[in-house]
């Protein structure tokens, strides 16, 4: 289940390299405990058992931030299927219905407005910062935004 975090390749795609070979990104495979779409922010399932750390669901809304958010889904999955999740590094996250504008460099949290999305962190959020925006996006019209996910575990 654990991925290797050693750097294997650093030449960017613009130089003819295979940038997807590393990116310093860590990906883990979890089991979907519900329907998940690629780009959704996911959180650990909280069913009170040890399997909670094996299963993920779309990040649920929680006032002041969702502290269980653990990454961004790379593929779509339904309950019981494997879902690959970016737990650290570059990811493209859903921001379709959030209000406001995301600016490159903004601290992001799992949305308190729309499940499975990112939004700009505000002072009232008590959940830790989930990541940082790598580009600007008008979240009212854009569907996705490139982000850097901070390691959550």
Helix (H, G, I), strand (E, B) or coil at 21: helix
Rounded Cα distance, 122 and 3, in Å: 32
pLDDT tens sequence across 72-98: 999 999 999 999 999 999 999 998 766
SS3 content of the chain, % helix, strand, coil (to 5): 5, 35, 60
Q: How many Cβ atoms sit within 10 Å of the Cβ of residue 88?
A: 21
Rounded Cα distance, 67 and 44, in Å: 10
Strand partners, 91: 147
- Give the global pTM: 0.84
The top-scoring range by mean pLDDT among 5-14, 17-26, 78-87, 118-127 is: 78-87
Left, alpha or beta for 79 (phi > 0: left; psi -120 to 50: alpha)?
A: beta
């Amino acid at each position: 289940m654990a991925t290797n975090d050693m750097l294997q390749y650093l030449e960017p795609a613009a130089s003819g390299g295979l940038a997807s070979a590393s990116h310093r990104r860590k990906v883990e495979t979890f089991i979907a405990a519900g329907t998940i779409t690629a780009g959704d922010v996911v959180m650990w399932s909280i069913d009170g058992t040890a399997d909670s750390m094996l299963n993920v669901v779309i990040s649920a809304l929680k006032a002041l931030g969702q502290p269980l958010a653990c990454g961004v889904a790379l593929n779509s999955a339904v309950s019981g299927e494997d879902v690959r999740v970016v737990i650290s590094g570059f990811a493209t996250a859903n921001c379709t219905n959030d209000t406001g504008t995301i600016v490159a460099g903004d601290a992001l949290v799992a949305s308190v407005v729309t499940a499975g999305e990112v939004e700009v962190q505000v002072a009232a959020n008590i959940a830790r910062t989930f990541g940082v925006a790598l580009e600007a996006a008008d979240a009212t019209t854009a569907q996705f935004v490139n982000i850097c996910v901070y390691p959550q575990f």
